[in-house]
Amino acid sequence: MSRIKDLQKNLFGGTTSNARQFGMIFTLVAIVLLFQIWTNGLTLTSGNLIAVVSQYSYILILAIGMLMVIVAGHIDLSVGSVAAFTGIVVAKTMQEFALPWPVGILIGLAVGALIGAWQGFWVAYVGVPAFIVTLAGMLLFRGGNQYIGNADTVPVPEGFRTIGAGFLPEVGPDTGYNNLTLLLGLAACAAVVWRELKSRQTRREMNADPAPMWISVLRMAVMVGVIVFATLRFAGGRVGTSLPISGIILIALVLAYSHYTRNTIGGRHIYAVGGNARAAELSGVKLKRVNFLVMMNMSVLAALAGMIFVARSSASGPQDGLSWELDAIAAVFIGGAAVSGGLGTISGSIVGGLVMALLNNGLQLEGVGSDMVQIIKGLVLLLAVAFDVYNKSQGRFSIIGSLTRPFRRDDPSPPTDRPSPASDSDKAPVAG
Amino acid sequence: MRKYLTRSAALIGVAALLTLSACGSEREGTAAPTAGGSAAPAKGFAADGLIGVALPSKTSENWVLAGDLFTNGLKEAGFTSDVQYAGASTTVADQQAQISAMVTKGAKVIVIGATDAAQLTTQVKQAKEAGAVVIAYDRLITNTPDVDYYIAFDNFKVGQLQGQALLDGMKAKKPEAPWTIELFSGSPDDNNAGVFFNGAMDVLKPLIDKGDVVVGSGQTDVKQTAIQGWKAEGAQQRMDSLITSTYNGDKKLDGVLSPNDTLARAIITSVKGAGKDIPVVTGQDSEVESVKSIMAGEQYSTINKDTRKLVAETIAMVKSLQAGTEPTINDKDTYDNGVKVVPSYLLPPVIVTKDNAAESYANDPKLAPLTQG
C-alpha cells in the first residue's frame, strides 16, 4: 500500500499535503480536462492560459497572505478594501505629483505596511479579534478609497501598467516562441531536477530512506513535463505576449513564501500559534509578534494585489477589490486549510485558487452567466469543506485518510516536517 | 499486489507523459495562426461568426432588456452570440474576465456596455490584437486607442430637447416673456451630466442673454446647479433652499430645467411641499413614475431613449462589419475618449410630453398601458 502513498506524498506538495489538497489537485486536473473537452480545446490555448494568469494572479497573491492569516487562526476581511485604498492612493499621487511609476509602487507597499501595522496593532497588542478589526478595516478603507478618489476613476501612467498588463520583452533570435519565457522554463526544469537530486542526497546523508528511484524519476518526469508544456504554451502566444509579469511576481512570491512557511523557524511559528496559541506561547513563541507580522504581511500583499489590478485595469476605480476577500478565503479553504487554524499550505491554497480560477474561466468560455457561475462556485466551496469536515467526523476514515495512517508510522520525518510544539495530537496526523 | 501497483503507477505515468507530449505538439497548430494574425482589421467574417456582448450587472431594467434584445436579435441575424452580464458584486473584474473569454473564443465583434469606462484598456487591446472589432455601447470606453465605434443616443441633443421643451411648456402656459426659471444639472463626476447641461444651455443661453428668460436665483454655473450623485434628496434640498431664498413672496417660478426624471420628481415634491404651483419641469429616462406624473399633468416632459432602437442599430452595425463594409457613422469629431476621437453613430432621442406619450410608448409593453386614458 505504501507505494500509492509514496506517490501521493512525493509527487504532490511534499509532506504536508493532506487528503483534501491531494484531492484538489485531481479536481484541478479534472476541471482542466473537462473544460478542455467541453470548450473544444480552448482552455489550454496560449491566449487563454495567459489571460487566466493575468486575471487571477492578484487573487492568488491574496491567497498566499490569507493562508498565513488563517493558519495563525485569524481572518482578514479587509483585503479588498485595502487593495482598493492602496490603488487609489498610488494612482492619485502619481497623477498629482507626476511621480515615476517605481516610486508609486514603493508608496503603495508603504501604504500597505502602514495599514497592516495598524490592523496588526489592534489584533496582536490590544487583542481585538481579527474578524472585528478587519471588518472595521473593510469599511474604513472602502470609505477611504471613495473619499480620496471622489468615487471617480483615476488613470495610471503607461509604465505602471507593466506590473499588471505587461509581458516579457521579445529578445534574441526568432524561435517562434518568447525566448525569455523559454529560458525561465528551462531554469524551472533545472531547478526541479536539482531539487530532487539534492533531497535524495540529503535523505541519504541523514540516513533516511530516500524515496524509491522510480518515484523520483516519475516525479521529475511529471514535473518537467508540466513545466515544458506550460512553458511552450506561455511562450507560444501571440507575438508580444509571454508569461505575464504579474504571473512572474506571483511565482516568485509563491516560492519565497512556501520556503518561509515550510523551512524557517518564523514560518513554523505561525503554524504553532494557529495549532494551539497557549502551548506555543509557553514554548517560547512570541505570540504577539507572530500575530502582528501575519496581519501586516497580509496588508502588504493586499496592497501589491491592488496595484497589480489597477495596473491591469489601467485605472483605479471605486469598485476595485469588491469581494476579493471572499475569493481569497475560498481559495485557502478549498486548498485544504482548517477553519480552526494550524493547518494548510501555500501550494494548497494556490491549487484551491486555480480550481476557482479555471472553473470561472471555463464557465465563462462556455458563456455561462455570472449568476450561475456564482452558484457553482458556492457549491464547490461548500462541498470541498464539507468533504473535510465529514472526514474528520468519521475519525478521518476516508480512502486517502486510511492510506495515510499506515504510511505515517514509518515516515522518517524529514526536516521540513518537524512537529511544531503546538501541533496537538488531534491535528498532527492530518497535517502530516 | 505491489507489482500490480507498480505497474499501474508506471502506466499512469506513461499515459500522463503521452497526454502531455500530445498536448505539447498540438501547440504549433494553435500558436502559429495567433502569432501571425495580429491586429489585421477584419475584412468581413463568417455569417455565423461569434459576437460577444458584455453588459454591466443586471441592476437596471434597461440592461436586462438590452441583453434579451441582443440575444434574440443576433440569433435572428444568424450570428452566434455570447451575451454576458457582470456579476452584481464584482462588476469590473467580472467584465474584464468575460471580455477576455470572448477574445479567447474568437469573437469577431465585441459590444461592450462598460461598467467602468476607464478600466477596460487591457482587455480592449487584447481584443484588438486578436482581430476583433470593439463597439462601445451606450458608454464611451476611455483611455484607449482600441475602441472602433461608439453607438449611443445623442446626449447633447437630449439637452437641446430638454431646453426646447422647457420653453415650449412655459409658452403654452403664459404666452409672453419674461419667464422665470431655475436650472438643475446632474452629478459632476458623470461625463454625460455636462453634455446634457451644455445642450440645454445651447437653447436657453440666447434667451437668457436677451432677457426673455430669467434665472431667478442667478445660479447659472454648472457647479452651482449640479446634484452630486444624481441624488433625489440633493435636488429636493436645493429646490427647498431656492424657494426659501428666491420665491418666498409672490414671485412666480415658471419652469425648472431638470436633467432626469428622478430629479424632476424630487423638484416637484419640493414645490408641492412649499404650496406653490407646479412649474414646467423637464426630465429624461421615461421612468414609470414620471410617465404617470406626466399623464397626471405634473411633470411636463421626459425623454425616450428607446433601447430597442439602440440595440437594433448596434446589430445593423455588426451586420455591416460582417459584410466587410464600413458601418454607418454620423459623428466623426465629437467623442474624444482621451486618446482618440471615436467614430460614433448617434441616435436621436425623442421628447415625450402628455400630447405624444401614447404614440411614443406604443411599442413599450410596460409604459403603453400608463398612457391609455
Whether residue B169 has pLDDT greater than 50: yes
Whether residue A415 has pLDDT greater than 80: no
Average pLDDT over residues A197-216: 81
Instruction: Provide the mean pLDDT of chain A.
Output: 83
CA angle A246, A30, A190 (to 5 degrees): 50
Contact B189 A150 (CB under 8 A): yes
Whether residue A397 has pLDDT greater than 80: no
| pLDDT, position A267 | 92
Question: Do A233 and A285 belong together in one domain?
Answer: no
Domain B50-147+306-348 has CATH 3.30.365.10: no
Beta carbon pairs, A and B, within 8 Å = 161
Question: Do A95 and A47 belong together in one domain?
Answer: yes
CA angle B33, B38, B40 (to 5 degrees): 110
Contact B101 A365 (CB under 8 A): yes
Nearest by CB to residue B30, choosing from A45, A240, A323, is A45
Chain centroid to Cα B332, Å, comes to 19
Chain A residues in contact with B23 by the CB 8 A cut-off are: 44, 229
Whether residue B5 has pLDDT greater than 50: no
Largest CA-CA distance found in chain B, in angstroms, rounded:
105
Pairing of strands B350-353, B301-304: antiparallel
Residue A248 domain-assigned (yes or no): no
Nearest by CB to residue A317, choosing from B17, B31, B116, is B116
* Structural element, H or E, at residue B312: helix B307-322
Question: Do A396 and A343 belong together in one domain?
Answer: yes
**In DSSP terms, which residues pair with B151 in a beta bridge?**
B137, B345
The region of weakest confidence among A12-21, B78-87, B122-131, B180-189 is A12-21
DSSP B130: T
Chain A residues in contact with B6 by the CB 8 A cut-off are: 3, 214
Interface test with B, best of A138, A178, A238, A310 (most B CBs within 10 A): A238
Contact B101 A364 (CB under 8 A): yes
* More confident call, B221 vs B39: B221
| pLDDT, position A215 | 79
Residue A249 domain-assigned (yes or no): no
Whether residue B283 has pLDDT greater than 90: yes
HEC profile of A162-187:
HHHHCECCCCCCCCCCCHHHHHHHHH
Question: Do A269 and A406 belong together in one domain?
Answer: yes
Contact B17 A225 (CB under 8 A): yes
Residue A79 in contact with residue A65, Cβ under 8 Å?
yes
**Residue at a domain's end among A209, A243, A277:** A243
**Residue at a domain's end among A196, A212, A243:** A243
DSSP letter string, B190-226: -HHHHHHHHHHHHHHHHHHHHTSEEETT---SHHHHB
A-chain residue closest to B16, CA distance: A222
| pLDDT, position B26 | 35
* More confident call, A390 vs B332: B332
Residue A344 domain-assigned (yes or no): yes
Instruction: Provide the mean pLDDT of chain B.
Output: 83
Q: Express each pLDDT in A100-115 by its tens digit.
A: 999 999 999 999 999 9
Question: Do A15 and A34 belong together in one domain?
Answer: yes
**What's the structural domain count of chain A?**
2
Number of neighbouring beta carbons within 10 Å of residue A152:
16
Domain residue ranges of chain B, discontinuous segments joined by +: 50-147+306-348, 155-305+367-371
Contact A370 B126 (CB under 8 A): no
| pLDDT, position B30 | 37
Question: Do A393 and A324 belong together in one domain?
Answer: yes
Chain A residues in contact with B124 by the CB 8 A cut-off are: none
| pLDDT, position B258 | 94
Average pLDDT over residues A378-392: 81
Chain centroid to Cα B351, Å, comes to 17
Q: Express each pLDDT in A142-174 by its tens digit.
A: 989 888 887 678 888 888 988 888 888 888 888
Interface test with A, best of B104, B139, B190 (most A CBs within 10 A): B104
| pLDDT, position A162 | 87
| pLDDT, position A383 | 87
Residue A391 domain-assigned (yes or no): yes
Whether residue B84 has pLDDT greater than 50: yes
Nearest by CB to residue A314, choosing from B9, B38, B121, is B121
**What is the dotted CATH code of the domain comprising B155-305+367-371?**
3.40.50.2300
Residue A258 domain-assigned (yes or no): no
As to burial, measured by CB atoms within 10 angstroms (0-12 exposed, 13-18 middle, 19+ buried), residue B234 is: middle
HEC profile of chain A:
CHHHHHHHHHHCCHHHCCHHHHHHHHHHHHHHHHHHHHCCCCCCCHHHHHHHHHHHHHHHHHHHHHHHHHHCCCCCCCHHHHHHHHHHHHHHHHHHHCCCHHHHHHHHHHHHHHHHHHHHHHHHHHCCCHHHHHHHHHHHHHHHHHHHHCCCCEECCCHHHHHHHCECCCCCCCCCCCHHHHHHHHHHHHHHHHHHHHHHHHHHHCCCCCCCHHHHHHHHHHHHHHHHHHHHHHHCCCCCCCCEHHHHHHHHHHHHHHHHHHHCHHHHHHHHHHHCHHHHHHCCCCHHHHHHHHHHHHHHHHHHHHHHHHHHHCEECCCCCCCHHHHHHHHHHHCCCCCCCCCCCHHHHHHHHHHHHHHHHHHHHCCCCHHHHHHHHHHHHHHHHHHHHHHHHCCCCCHHHHHHHHHHHCCCCCHHHCCCCCCCCCCHHHHC
The region of weakest confidence among A53-67, A113-127, B154-168, B228-242 is B228-242
- Domain containing A314 equals 2-166+265-425
Identity of the highest mean pLDDT range in B56-60, B175-179, B267-271: B267-271
The region of weakest confidence among A71-80, B34-43, B81-90, B156-165 is B34-43
B-chain residue closest to A212, CA distance: B6
Contact A313 B96 (CB under 8 A): yes
| pLDDT, position A392 | 67
Chain A residues in contact with B112 by the CB 8 A cut-off are: none
Q: How confident is the model at residue B373 (pLDDT cuts 50, 70, 90)?
A: low
- State the complex-level ipTM: 0.70
Give residues with Cβ within 8 angstroms of B164, minimum separation 6. Answer: B203, B351
| pLDDT, position A320 | 86
Q: Express each pLDDT in A213-236 by its tens digit.
A: 787 888 888 889 999 999 998 988
Give residues with Cβ within 8 angstroms of A338, minimum separation 6. Answer: A344, A388, A427, A430
% of chain B with per-residue pLDDT over 70: 87
| pLDDT, position A401 | 42
| pLDDT, position B10 | 52
| pLDDT, position A268 | 93
Identity of the highest mean pLDDT range in A219-228, B5-14, B21-30: A219-228
Of A43, A41, A77, A37, nearest in space to A354 by CA: A43
Amino acid at A8: Q
Contact B84 A237 (CB under 8 A): no
Question: Which CA distances in Å does A71 have to A130, A264, A431, B151?
Answer: 13, 15, 12, 51
Question: Do A32 and A176 belong together in one domain?
Answer: no
Question: Do A47 and A190 belong together in one domain?
Answer: no
**In DSSP terms, which residues pair with B112 in a beta bridge?**
B54, B136
Q: Express each pLDDT in B218-249 by its tens digit.
A: 888 887 888 877 888 889 989 998 988 888 77
Q: How far is B212 from chain A (nearest CA, A)?
A: 38
| pLDDT, position A412 | 41
Residue A199 in contact with residue A345, Cβ under 8 Å?
no
Residue A315 in contact with residue A156, Cβ under 8 Å?
yes
Chain A residues in contact with B2 by the CB 8 A cut-off are: 3
Residue A255 domain-assigned (yes or no): no
Q: How far is A319 from chain B (nearest CA, A)?
A: 7
Chain A residues in contact with B54 by the CB 8 A cut-off are: none
Q: How confident is the model at residue A406 (pLDDT cuts 50, 70, 90)?
A: very low
Question: Do A401 and A279 belong together in one domain?
Answer: yes
Number of neighbouring beta carbons within 10 Å of residue B333:
8
Contact B115 A360 (CB under 8 A): no
Average pLDDT over residues B132-141: 90
Question: Do A373 and A279 belong together in one domain?
Answer: yes
Residue A431 domain-assigned (yes or no): no
| Burial call A227-241: b when 16+ CB within 10 Å, e when fewer | bbbbbbbbbbbbeeb
Average pLDDT over residues A304-329: 89
Question: Do A162 and A222 belong together in one domain?
Answer: no
Question: Do A147 and A182 belong together in one domain?
Answer: no
| pLDDT, position A299 | 96
Whether residue A68 has pLDDT greater than 90: yes
Nearest by CB to residue B143, choosing from A314, A360, A367, is A314
Q: Express each pLDDT in A252-280 by its tens digit.
A: 999 999 999 999 999 999 999 998 889 99
* More confident call, A110 vs A45: A110
Q: Express each pLDDT in B44-70 by its tens digit.
A: 888 888 999 998 877 667 788 889 999
